Amino acid sequence: MKLDINNQTHEVDADGDTPLLWVIRDDLGLTGTKYGCGLAQCGACSVLVDGKVMRSCVTPVDSVVNRKITTIEAIEADAVGKRVVEKWVEHQAPQCGYCQSGQVMAATALLKENPHPSQEEIAAVMINLCRCGTYNAINAAMTDLAGTKEGAK
């Protein structure tokens, strides 16, 4: 089957029910997307599909044929994604970094849909788990990006 990943067409030989994450990492070598829980809980495996965040560990690869998949490797080709990465760097959000590609994906998807989310809207969406506890830095970056500083706690 053919997959559109990062604006490139990839011919993939996989069973239709194979998780997209396996194809991205093992078949295509795009290892920026991480495997955490494998159960749609942690968000480490998040990618964008048609601009919306999806957990690739539970997404069958045949469900994303003919859709536009974006991984962390290409997120800075997106204007919103580029701004997110710049703010992540400015606020030094990553510690070990393992969860951060998923965090950036969640942030980008939110800001594409809602450029000025409130603190409540940020909290509702930024639910990816981080073992290093970078939540405060992520929230500071998101508050900057949202331009709603006055709403920050």
Positions that interact with ligand FES (CB under 6 A):
35-38, 40-45, 55, 57, 94-100, 130-132, 134
The dihedral sign for the CA sequence 105, 110, 116, 118: negative
Give the nearest distance from C-beta 136 to ligand FES in angstroms. 12
Q: Going by DSSP bridges, is the β-strand pair 68-70/52-55 parallel, antiparallel, or unpaired?
A: unpaired
Give the nearest distance from C-beta 122 to ligand FES in angstroms. 17
Q: Which is nearest to 41 in space by CA: 57, 25, 52, 30?
A: 57
C-alpha distances in Å from residue 125, one per residue of 31, 73, 108, 138: 24, 22, 11, 12
Would you say 74 or 98 has its CB closer to ligand FES? 98
Give the nearest distance from C-beta 91 to ligand FES in angstroms. 12
Would you say 67 or 148 has its CB closer to ligand FES? 67
Would you say 14 or 37 has its CB closer to ligand FES? 37
